[in-house]
A = this chain, B = another copy of it.
Amino acid sequence: MDTLEELKTLLGQVSDLEAAAALLSWDQETHMPPAAASVRGLQVATVASLAHERFTTPRIEELLCGLEAQPAESGTVEEALVRVTRRDYDRATKIPTEFVEEKARAENEAHHAWLAARKNDDFRSFEPHLEKMFDLARRYADLVGFDDHPYDALLDDYEPGARAAEVKRIFAGLRDETLPLLQAIVAAGDATDYGVLTREFDVDRQRRFALEVAEDLGLKGEFSRLDISAHPFQTNFSRNDIRITTRFDAHYFPMSLFGTWHETGHGMYEHGVAAELARTPLSRGASLGVHESQSRMFENLIGRSRPFWQHYFPHFQAVFPEALEGIDAEMLYKAVNRVQPSLIRVEADEVTYNFHIMLRFELELAVLEGTLNVSELPEAWNAKMEQYLGVTPRSNAEGVLQDIHWSAGLIGYFPTYSLGNLLSVQLLEAAKAQDSAIEPGLRSGQYGPLLAWLQHHVHRHGRTLTPRELTERATGRSLSAEPYVRYLREKYQDIYALPQTALQP
């Protein structure tokens, strides 16, 4: 077997173990009987740890050295495979197997502690676990190393090449430009009657409608399925085995509909990765930020657009004739774009969402820098909520305990949501400018042209391009808050009939 083939064989085994670990986790969230939880935690930990062990075997180093001695041509899959595998290998070999196991066990315990703490609104019972998570994050950053800030080491896992200082700069501009818009919207009052949002929509029919649109968006049952979980997510075990989840509320249909289309965006990205990259480290999205650009594009730029509801409203009305009594497409469009400062990130609208992210980013930085203790997080959280959104959680359950991320050791992860929001608009602007069939397609539920553009400029590349390379090649420039801010201004000035002057910072 030649060097490249042997490397691919070993990486294929690692990929298979990672798929097995992902399936164990998916099953845990969707179908597993409750009494199985404790053993399942051990199983996930073992399989993840063996994947790590298998990937960090010295043989990989030998094979990489052999391939690096005779570098493949730039732009080839082989060159990307060696480069990305080297990156992952160097990061992974800095992490001892014992640390990986300790982290997996601690995360499993923290996850269960978080579930109980959120249920009982009892931050103190979660606090030692959260201390442990930040402690593990600090140790992890030290193990992999960093130039400027330990946060960079964490962020780099989710957004390769991104730096805390750059995120700070982009977020500062975003904050300064969005705050006056938010204030103008709050001052303007309601744009329509929002009562339709809480009318009763049969959940079986919600499921049917959500899936019909998801299929129009490209997600076919041949290579995907939708299940129910407490927290919606996308995972996959190969590009033809996409699993998305959602949750249903008969009295709040936006949750399942926009949630399904959000995960559809993630799923279409993973399905669109070139088949030749399968079972290698190249066969997934370039970063969480690029991933989020796809989910947000489907959920918001398409799903919450006026053309979308002008097209789908008649069918939506046919599925829910009673619930939509007295409602037209325009009212629905305005209702699903209600802007309202609120406590819960996952329920936030396009204008306020990024403030939830900035808050978390700033708190993570402060704890890592040692200027804030974990025990002080609830108060610091609430103070920032008041500062940015003018609302204060009545409990930690709807404050600092609301997200699963920290209990899962995901520190440095939150900024990618906002980076994805920004990128979604930058990509869609570029796509429309480059292919004149895309805009008419969005008006008629014909997503083929847009999908083809995304497939060509984003999906197929997998991890062969960095987020920066991908962004610059697809849009002609690096990531900026400017297109997103412009998108928000145009959309919400119209919906809330705002005076032009109100929008300047």
- CB within 8 Å of B: which residues of A? 12-13, 16-17, 19-21, 23-24, 27, 31-36, 39-40, 42-43, 46-47, 50, 54, 221-225, 227, 237-238, 240-242, 278-279
Contacts and interface: CB of A to CB of B under 8 A. Distances in A.
B223 A47 contact: no
B34 A222 contact: yes
B240 A36 contact: yes
Contact of A47 (B17, B225, B242): B17
A296 to B, nearest CB: 25
Contacts of A39: 237-238, 240-241, 278-279
B23 A21 contact: no
B16 A47 contact: yes
A43 B13 CA distance: 8
A224 B31 CA distance: 10
A33 B222 contact: yes
A12 B225 contact: no
Copy count, this protein chain: 2
B13 A50 contact: yes
Given A27-B23, A47-B17, A241-B33, A12 B278 contact: no
Given A12-B46, A39-B238, 16 more contacts: A16-B43, A16-B46, A17-B47, A19-B43, A20-B20, A20-B47, A23-B23, A31-B225, A31-B227, A33-B242, A35-B240, A36-B237, A36-B241, A39-B279, A40-B237, A47-B47
Contacts of A242: 33
A143 B91 CA distance: 42
Given A24-B20, A47-B20, A238-B40, A223 B35 contact: yes
A66 to B, nearest CB: 23
Contacts of A224: 33
21 contacts: A16-B47, A17-B47, A17-B50, A20-B20, A20-B21, A20-B24, A20-B43, A31-B31, A33-B222, A33-B241, A33-B242, A34-B222, A35-B222, A36-B237, A36-B241, A39-B237, A39-B238, A39-B240, A40-B241, A42-B279, A50-B50
Given A23-B27, A221-B33, A13 B240 contact: no
A316 to B, nearest CB: 26
Nearest to A33: B223
